[in-house]
Amino acid sequence: MSVVSLQEALSEEEFGGKAVQLGAALRARLTVPPGFALSVRQVNEIAAGQPEAVARVRGLLEQVGPSVAVRSSAVGEDSANASFAGQHLTALAVRTQEGLVEAVKQVWASGRTEAALGYRRKMGRMDEPRVAVVVQRLVAAECAGVLFSCDPLTGADERVIEATWGLGEAVVAGLVTPDRYRISREGHILERSAGDKDVAILPLPEGGTKEVAVAPERVHALCLDDARLQALHALATRCEAHFGGRQDLEFAFVGEDLYLLQRRAVTRVG
C-alpha cells in the first residue's frame, strides 16, 4: 500500500516512525487530527515526478483538509534511540493539490540536506535516507507547544511544558521565549513562568503561514490556564500508561479542545 489512513500505518519500514506513532495514538483514541501516511516508495516516486504517484494523492485534501500539515516520517525518525526533530522540513497550511505535491518533494529533499545527513551519521546511520510523509489536518491553534513527561535537562520526575500563542512552530523555531510550566506527577502545578511571546505564527486563508505581532497585553500573559494544564497532565499520564516510558509530546489547543500533534520517546536527558 502506498497511501493509507494514519490508523492503518503499522509498518515503520514502509511509513516511518512518526506515522506509526500517530497511528498508534489514534487507535488508543487520543485526540490526534486525522490524516494519511504516504509510504517511502510513494514519496520517492513523487520526488521523481512519476505521474501515477502524483495521481494517487489526489483527493487527500478533500478528505482531511481544507488545510493540512505535511511532515516527514523517515524510517528511524522518532524512534527510541533517535529524534530527528528540527532536521526535516514541515510544510504548514497547504491548501492546494499542487502545493501538496510540492510539499512532499520538499520534505523528501530535506532528508538529504547536509545537516540531516550529518545527524544520521552522528546516530550511526550510514544508509540512504528513507522518507515517508504524514499529511494531517492542520489545527489552527490558539496556543500550542511541547510537553516532556520528565525534565529533559535534569531527568526530574515531573512534567515540563513550554507553550506560546498560535502554532507551536514558533517554539520549535526559537522565535519566542515560551511560557514555562512544571507539574508534579500528582498533578500539582509547581511553576508558571511567563515568556516573551511577541510573535505568533498563524495560518493564512490562502495557504501558508505568517508571523504576526502579538498584542502588547498578551506578550507576557500566560497562555495556559489551570484547565489546560490539567488536560495536558492527563494526556501525559495516558501516553505514559499506553506507550510506556518518558514522553515528548507536541500539542495544540483550540478553545478547551486539546490535540496531540506528535508523540515520541524522550531519547536523551541532560
Segment 7-56, tens digit of pLDDT = 999 999 999 999 999 999 999 999 999 999 999 999 999 999 999 999 98
Domain ranges of the chain: 3-137, 143-265
Average pLDDT over residues 3-10: 94
Say if CB 73 and CB 16 are below 8 A apart.
yes
SS3 content of the chain, % helix, strand, coil (to 5): 30, 30, 40
157-179 in b/e form (b: 16+ CB < 10 A) is: ebbbbbbbbbbbbbbbeebbbbb
Phi, psi of 129 (to 5 degrees): -60, 140
Average pLDDT over residues 239-261: 95
Residue matched to cell numbers 500505518: 9
Residue 89, pLDDT score: 85
Residue 238, pLDDT score: 95
Cα Rg, the chain, nearest whole Å? 18
Q: Are strands 247-254 and 143-148 parallel, antiparallel or unpaired?
A: antiparallel
Question: Which residues on neighbouring strands pair with residue 146, listed in sequence order?
Answer: 162, 250
Which stretch of 53-57, 85-89, 184-188, 207-211 has the lowest confidence by average pLDDT? 85-89
> Per-residue pLDDT tens for 59-75?
888 899 899 999 999 88
CATH architecture of 143-265: 2-Layer Sandwich (3.30)
Q: What is the pTM for the complete model shown?
A: 0.88
Does residue 93 register a pLDDT over 60?
Answer: yes
CATH class, domain 3-137, is alpha beta
Alpha-carbon torsion angle 65, 168, 92, 247, nearest 10: -80
Q: Where are the alpha helices (DSSP H) in the chain?
A: 12-27, 40-47, 51-56, 60-64, 97-110, 114-122, 169-172, 216-219, 226-243
Same fold, 3-137 and 143-265: no
Tell me, what amino acid is at 137? Answer: R
Alpha-carbon torsion angle 220, 165, 172, 241, nearest 10: 110
% of the chain with per-residue pLDDT over 70: 90
Give the confidence band of 143 by pLDDT, cuts at 50, 70, 90: very high
Task: Dig out the grid coordinates for 185 from the structure.
Answer: 506527577
Average pLDDT over residues 132-142: 96
Average pLDDT over residues 182-202: 97
Residue 12, pLDDT score: 94
Task: Dig out the grid coordinates for 4 from the structure.
Answer: 493509507
Residue 120, pLDDT score: 58
% of the chain with per-residue pLDDT over 90: 76
Residue 223, pLDDT score: 97
Q: What is the DSSP string of 203-269?
A: E-TTSSEEEEEPPHHHHTS-S--HHHHHHHHHHHHHHHHHH-S-EEEEEEEETTEEEEEEEEE----
Question: Which residues on neighbouring strands pair with residue 134, listed in sequence order?
Answer: 37, 71
Average pLDDT over residues 107-129: 70
**Average pLDDT over the chain, rounded to an integer:** 90
Give the confidence band of 125 by pLDDT, cuts at 50, 70, 90: low
Average pLDDT over residues 218-235: 97
